[in-house]
Structure 1
Amino acid sequence: MNTRVVTAHIPNELAEQIDQLAERLDRPKGWIVKQALISWVELETKRHQLTLEGLADVDAGRLVDHASVDAWTKNLDQSV
């Protein structure tokens, strides 16, 4: 696998947390940062996909009007 070095300035507190995790997990700091970045990229990719799906629903007219949502939430209060 080809790799590349990426440099970032992070707050000291976060760096210390990474140091502690590396020690506790007996893993290199680079491994911890890599895992964190993988998770964040996957989350952002999913969030972007869901946003695109939501916008496609809007474009297709698959909407619920405010009055219907308001009535539904008021009904929730009554069912408790």
Structure 2
Amino acid sequence: MDTKVLTAHVPLPLAQKIDDLAAQLDRPRAWIVKQALAAWVSEEEERHRLTLAGMADVTAGRVVDQADVEAWAASLATGNHLPVPQR
């Protein structure tokens, strides 16, 4: 696999945590950074996918009334839970 070097300035406390983890895991610093970056990119891609799916639901009218959601959420703090609101 081809690679590309990326450079980033990070706060010293974060750099120290990366160095500490690398030492604990007996891995190079670059491995830690690559793992973290890959996980972040994956999470952002999933967040984007879910946002688009949510927007499609709204466009299609698959929504739940805000007041129903608020009433349900408030009921969770009581002994009388309301059913989960449905569309």
Same fold (TM over 0.5): yes
**Larger RCO, structure (CA 8 Å, separation 6 or more):** 2
Aligned length: 80
Change (3 A) 1:15 1:62: same
The Cα RMSD (Å) is: 1.5
Gaps of 5+ in 2: 82-87
Hey, which bits of structure 1, 4+ residues long, moved more than 3 A? 73-76
For residue 29 of structure 2, what is the amino acid of its counterpart? K
Shift in CA distance, 13/70, structure 1 to aligned 2, threshold 3 Å: closer
* Normalised TM-score (structure 1): 0.89
TM-score normalised by structure 2 residue count: 0.83
User: Unmatched 5+ residue regions in structure 1?
Assistant: none
Greater share of helix residues, 1 or 2?
1
Amino acid at match of 2:28: P
Structure 1 vs Structure 2: percent identity of aligned residues?
A: 57
Cα distance change on mapping 1:12 and 1:65 into 2, 3 Å: same
Cα deviation code 1:50-75 (max 9, x no counterpart): 00000000000111112322333344
